[in-house]
Each structure stands twice: as C-alpha cells, then as structure tokens.
Amino acid sequence: MVNDHHERPQAAGGTDEDERQLCSGDHQNLHQISNMLMNPRRRGSVPDVAALTWPDPKARARALHYANEVVAWMIKKKDGALDRAAIQKIMIELPTPVKDMLHVMARDGKTSVAKLIADTVCGLVYRQYPALRPKAK
C-alpha cells in the first residue's frame, strides 16, 4: 500500500505538489523516527533504528532528511509559528476513483485537492447558513 507523505504538512499549507509517495510502512516509520527526534531521551537511538529500518544508505539518508523536515514543522507548530486561526483539519475516506478524479479536478483548476474540497464544502455550508460566511475586510 502506498501513502502520500507531504513534505510540508497540510496543516502548514502543504499542497499535493508537496507529496512524496512512500509505502505505508515507510511512512509510519518516518513519523516514528520524527517523534523520536523530538524526544531528547530517544534521539540518540535514531541512527540505530534508522539503520535497521532502511539498510540501504541512500534510502536511509532520504528518510532521515524527510524526518528532519517533519521535525522542523513540528517545532514551528509547537512554537506557535504556524497561524492556524480557526481552521481544523479533518480526514475523510473516499473511494479510490473519487480521490483520483479529485486529483484531476485539482490539477485542472491549478489548486490542491485539500483546497478544492474545502472550497466546495464551505460553499455548501455558506449557502445553507449565510451567517457563518466570514465578513469581508
């Protein structure tokens, strides 16, 4: 199974252009390594765990590079450097053909799938509940 990993997290404005495809195991391991890097008590064991997880030096270097990028974003989020305003992230499950078509529609509209879905959902909600629409500045 393949997962899309966003080099810049979606919560930080990452788009589909930021995606890198990783097998689900590598994706999970990447985030586990990132969490280990954030923990001073576990940080020292990262090289050994990475060597066992990715025996190929090039794959290991690429994974550690991605893990360090995840850590950088985690630190920004922790320090409040990411302005989240009143935005909440949700996860939805879609049939594969629908997800594939959303990628095509987003590419045609020169936007991200996340923005396409958000704009569509917000449009539906604002039509039903106009009072929720943000006031123009």
DSSP class of residue 44 equals G
Q: What is the mean pLDDT of residues 24-49?
A: 87
More confident residue, 84 or 50: 50
Helices (H), ranges, 39-135: 46-53, 57-78, 96-108, 113-128
Which has the closest alpha carbon to 71: 99, 107, 32? Answer: 32
**What size, in residues, is the chain?**
137
Q: Out of 36-40, 54-58, 74-78, which region has the weakest mean confidence (pLDDT)?
A: 74-78
Task: Determine the residue type at 12.
Answer: A
- Side-chain half-sphere CA neighbours of 12 within 13 A: 18
Domain boundaries, the chain: 1-83, 90-137
Please give the residue that has the higher pLDDT: either 103 or 10.
103
90-137 under CATH 1.10.1220, yes or no = yes
Q: What does the pLDDT read at residue 70?
A: 83
Give the pLDDT confidence score for residue 137 in this predicted structure: 58
For the stretch 65-118, pLDDT in tens is: 888 888 888 777 776 665 555 456 778 888 999 989 999 998 898 888 888 888
Percentage of the chain beyond pLDDT 90 is 18
DSSP 8-state symbol, 101: H
User: Are the C-beta atoms of 76 and 9 separated by less than 8 Å?
Assistant: no
